[in-house]
Amino acid sequence: MESIVAGIVAGIGGLLALGYAGLLTRDVLKQSPGTKLMADISRGIQVGAAAFLKREFRYLSVTTVVTALLLGIFLSWPGAVTYIIGSLVSFMAAWIGMRVSTRANARCTNLALKSFKDAFKAGFSSGAVMGMCVVGTGLLAVAVIYTITRDVHLLVYYAFGSSLTALFLRVGGGIFTKSADVGGDMVGKVEAGIPEDDPRNPAVIADAVGDNVGDVAGMGSDLFESYVSALIAAMFLGYYYKYNPTYASLMLLLGAAGIVCSIIGALLVRVGKGEQESFGAQTKKVRSAMSRGIILANLVMVITTFFLVRHIVGDMNVFFAMVAGMVAGVAIGWINQYYTSDSYSPVKHIAKSSETGSSTLIIEGFAQGMLSTVIPVAIVAAAIVASYQWGGLFGIAVAGFGMLSVLGVNLACDCYGPIVDNAAGIAEMAGLPHEVRRRCDALDSVGNSTAAIGKGFAIGSAALAALAWLATYMQAAELKIIDITKPDVMAGLLIGGLVVFLFIALTIKAVGRGAYRVVNEVRRQWQEIPGLREGKAKPDYAKCVDITTRAALREMIVPGTLSIVTPVLVGFFLGREALGAVLMSSLTVGLFMSLFMANSGGAWDNAKKYIESGAYGGKGSNSHKAAVVGDTVGDPFKDTAGPSLNILIKILGKVAMVLAPLLLALM
């Protein structure tokens, strides 16, 4: 009875989010996309992004069907069905969010012609569409499956399905976006000396498409996966460790509460008129609007959690664990911002080291990136110890969910970034007045710092979700302990780190090869299309998008396979305990490398922007040249390998979890 009520409430919460997303979409789409040229550019991005996702969907659906058949034959047919649902729902959320974001960009640019306030609103609203779609569809599907089946095991298959989609979108999108970006820059900015976003560069649309498929769709599916993972792990462990389905119901209700709080938060993110204000004043306005929304959403959530927990289970430890997760998430986001924003000393140090050339800039960024892992990891360790005190492994899962409880509004702020980045690009490509570009840049510069916070959440929540997943694996594999003094466990710990290092190497090399193809294609077009270099002819943008798409999908296969095959091989050859060690070690090493790569990459990027704003000689100086090297090195770090690690560490746990019954049967 109680579970049914909770399921219905959660379902209503999910629908509420989707309804709000629908309203926002209507508001955004009723705006004009501007001149024909602007609409054309936006259309090119839409078509390219959709083409990529469609082709990716073909690969994904084949993989999903094959895996579902295997799951059905060896494990469970109902599980195979929820697995497919997870894969599809996750894809759908990312698809809708990205469709809106690719339509919002030109509208945002066009609004920026007249009003700073309206341009911001369009950008943020379309970001919020992604945020609401992710939490809405995620929670709704969990509620429906749980209400109908009342079986937490089936939810695990659902989460596994969402992992597969996330793997495709995050890794494939990450390779796409950086192949286009790095390749385009290498041949455009460096070789031909034309500015960024110049319409004569055939890779410029592919670059904009990359922002959408990588940073919007990829980020969305990544956090969809984290969100449902954290939720389901908490439901599963609440069910098993507490021997009480009421805990599972509580998690569903907390999910619904989180959606309401996210909507409240999103409604509060508004800026006043500010056309005449300075760049600094505008960015400050945007930044404080977002902070206000996020902080209020969190505060309301804390209060709601307090009453829900007290009323439903009465065990206030659950409340403390939730709050520990929320505080940890905000703290990690803040630390990431400290290490990547040019308002603080780390980025300033890196920028200063550009004076002695690119080597010192790289070394300094490397060291700062390593350093930036220390406090976030300490926070994660503290959150683990604290939330375990308050509820064992279930407590850890609750903290993981707490970190993501108001994901709706957090993700809105994340996805806002690439949308306004696109808007600024369109202003450039369409040759709009300098004032428009400046307004878009003001919107964009905030996007960069929200990206750092967003990555912090993505990484922190991935670590806790992976940990919760390790706990569910142990439950399913009937492991009481994992003893590191056994040689197979030692080997497992080494293998866990090895997978992370191999995965990073593979994804980075994939970007290198992808960028190389883009470079060759751009060179070919410049050679073969007469008048292109002079701006008299139009390049074949679609061809560039197509080549990048093919490259990204091909390059995704090996790292993707690695993340699925490793647990299978370790499980069968070294056993259950070694597999647990692989999960723990990949989580540890992955957490460090993911923070390191996100923050060093972000810091190099902002050090370059800081120099471009006039420091150390500004644009064109030797310092700037050194900073460009750092920025390019950081690109695959922060946008390909780093974020892909979040998926890796989570998917290893789910494959292990799904395998567990087989491993037990083979004993």
Task: Report how far residue 657's alpha carbon sits from residue 470's, in angstroms, rounded to the nearest whole number.
Answer: 8
Q: Which of residues 626-645 bind its own copies (CB under 8 A)?
A: 628-629, 632-633, 636
Binding status of residue 203 toward its own copies by CB under 8 A: no
Instruction: Pick the stretch among 28-36, 105-113, 427-435, 497-505 that binds its own copies (CB under 8 A).
Output: 497-505
Per CB under 8 A, does 584 bind its own copies? yes
Q: Is 565 in the site for its own copies (CB under 8 A)?
A: no
Rounded distance between C-alpha atoms, residue 329 and residue 561, angstroms = 30
Residues in the chain, total: 667
111 forms part of the interface with its own copies (CB under 8 A) = no
Pick the closest to residue 651 from 31, 3, 169 (CA basis): 169
Place of tokens 């220390």: 374
Nearer to its own copies, 67 or 644 (CB): 644
Q: From CA 98, how far away is CA 218, in angstroms rounded?
A: 9
* Closest distance of CB 66 from its own copies, Å: 27
Q: Is 43 in the site for its own copies (CB under 8 A)?
A: no
Secondary structure (3-state) at 19: helix
DSSP 8-state class, residue 193: -
Residue 377 as a binder of its own copies (CB under 8 A): the answer is: yes
**Which residues inside 69-98 make contact with its own copies, applying CB under 8 A?**
none
Residue 159 or 393: the one with the smaller Cβ distance to its own copies is 393
What is d(CA 346, CA 369) in angstroms, rounded to the nearest whole number? 9
**Residue 421 binds its own copies, judged by CB under 8 A:** no
Q: CB under 8 A: which stretch of 66-74, 95-103, 428-436, 577-585 binds its own copies?
A: 577-585
- Residue 50 in contact with its own copies, rule: CB under 8 A: no
- How many CA atoms lie less than 13 Å away from 85 in the CB half-sphere? 23
* 664, two tokens: 């037990």
295 binds its own copies (CB under 8 A): no
**Residue in 389, 527, 561, 613 binding its own copies, rule: CB under 8 A:** 389
- DSSP track, 314-372: --HHHHHHHHHHHHHHHHHHHHHHHHH-TTSHHHHHHHHHGGG-HHHHHHHHHHHHHHT
Residues 6+ apart with CB under 8 A from 254: 305, 308, 322, 401, 405
Would you give the DSSP letter of residue 486?
Answer: S
Among residue numbers 514 through 533, which ones bind its own copies (CB under 8 A)? 519
Tokens at 506, concatenated:
């593979």
Interface pick for its own copies out of 23, 494, 569, 666 (rule CB under 8 A): 494
Q: Which DSSP symbol is given to 208?
A: H
- Kindly state whether residue 47 participates in binding its own copies, applying the rule CB under 8 A: no
- 343 C-beta neighbours (distance < 10 Å), count: 11
Residue among 314, 434, 485, 667 that touches its own copies (CB under 8 A) = 485
Cα–Cα dist 515/438, whole Å? 29
Give the integer Cα–Cα distance in Å for 282 and 632: 28
Which residue type occupies 182? Answer: V
Nearer Cβ to its own copies (109/368): 368
Q: In the complex with its own copies, which residue's Cβ is closer, 330 or 628?
A: 628
Angle at 264 between CA 263 and CA 267, to 5 degrees: 85
Nearest approach, Cβ of 345 to its own copies (angstroms)?
13
Is 344 a binding residue for its own copies by CB under 8 A? The answer is no
Q: Which stretch binds its own copies (CB under 8 A): 24-32, 242-250, 370-378, 605-613?
A: 370-378
Among 228, 263, 332, 393, binds its own copies (CB under 8 A): 393
By C-beta, is 286 or 611 nearer to its own copies?
A: 611
151 by Cβ neighbours in 10 Å (0-12 / 13-18 / 19+) ranks as middle
Q: Which two tokens stand for residue 526?
A: 């410049």
Smallest gap, in angstroms, from Cβ of residue 621 to its own copies?
Answer: 16
* Among the residue ranges 116-124, 137-145, 434-442, 485-493, the one whose residues contact its own copies (CB under 8 A): 485-493
Q: CB atoms < 10 A from the CB of 614, how many?
A: 10
Residues in region 349-368 near its own copies by CB under 8 A: 353, 356-360, 362-364, 366-368
646 burial level (CB within 10 Å; 0-12, 13-18, 19+): buried
Q: Does 397 bind its own copies (CB under 8 A)?
A: no
How many residues lie near its own copies (CB under 8 A)? 72
* Of 9, 50, 268, 491, the one binding its own copies by CB under 8 A: 491
Pick from 251, 253, 237, 230: which is nearest to 394 by CA?
Answer: 237
Cβ-count burial 161-179 (b if 16+ within 10 Å, e if not): bbbbbbbbbbbbbbbbbbb
- Residue nearer to its own copies on the CB measure, 385 or 537: 385
Q: Which is nearer to its own copies, 73 or 378 (CB)?
A: 378
Instruction: Name which of residues 462 to 481 contact its own copies (CB under 8 A).
Output: 467, 471, 474, 479-481
When binding is defined by CB under 8 A, the residue of 299, 502, 558, 568 that contacts its own copies is 502
Residues 595-624 that bind its own copies (CB under 8 A): 596
Closest to its own copies by CB, 79 vs 174, is 174
The answer to the question of residue 501 lying near its own copies (CB under 8 A) is yes
Residue closer to its own copies (CB basis): 102 or 373: 373
Q: Which is nearer to its own copies, 87 or 585 (CB)?
A: 585
Q: Which of 249, 282, 341, 373 binds its own copies (CB under 8 A)?
A: 373
Query: Which of 37, 192, 370, 568 lies at the binding interface for its own copies (CB under 8 A)?
Result: 370
Residue 482 makes contact with its own copies by CB under 8 A? yes
Q: How far is the CB of 509 from its own copies (least distance, A)?
A: 5
d(CA 288, CA 330): 15
Minimum distance from CB of 228 to its own copies (Å)? 23
Range 430-459, binding its own copies (CB under 8 A): none
Rounded to whole angstroms, the Cα distance separating 422 from 427 reads 9
Q: Looking at 126, 305, 588, 646, which residue binds its own copies (CB under 8 A)?
A: 588
Q: Within 13 Å of residue 511, how many CA atoms lie on the same side as its CB?
A: 31
